[in-house]
Amino acid sequence: MAFDDLARHMASRDRKKVPVGSAEEVVAQAEKVSRQMSRTRDLILGLILLVGGIIILGFCVLIYVDAHNPTSSYLRPSGGPMSIPVYIPLAGVVAVVAGLVKLVRGLAGRSR
């Protein structure tokens, strides 16, 4: 099967009429679509990471406030030190930074 036949067959599967050109044109169009999709993925993933990191950091702040509150509650009886592992706030900070980087990359790609 020649390249033109394969391109027509693939286009007909999606019920689209795509003019069949040379292999270079098809590859260039595929790269363009890939760049557009990577921008969309960067925006979505960046937003998810940013929101998730902020939620993690918010929970860490609430845990720290509760741990340093001198009065006891029914969830935390008095006595004994309370600590949070260092990797949880670190994961929140990393998620926020990675989310910001992905979000900026996605927004910069959209503006071009």
Residue 111 binned pLDDT confidence (cut-offs 50, 70, 90): low
* Alpha helices in 1-112, H assignment, sequence order: 3-13, 23-67, 87-111
Q: Contact, 93 vs 56, CB < 8 A?
A: no
Q: Contact, 50 vs 95, CB < 8 A?
A: yes
Q: Where are the domains of the chain?
A: 3-111
Distance CA 21, CA 3 (A): 9
| pLDDT tens string 24-58 | 777 777 788 888 888 889 999 999 999 999 999 99
Task: Fill in the DSSP letter of residue 80.
Answer: S
Q: Is the entire prediction scored with pTM above 0.75?
A: no
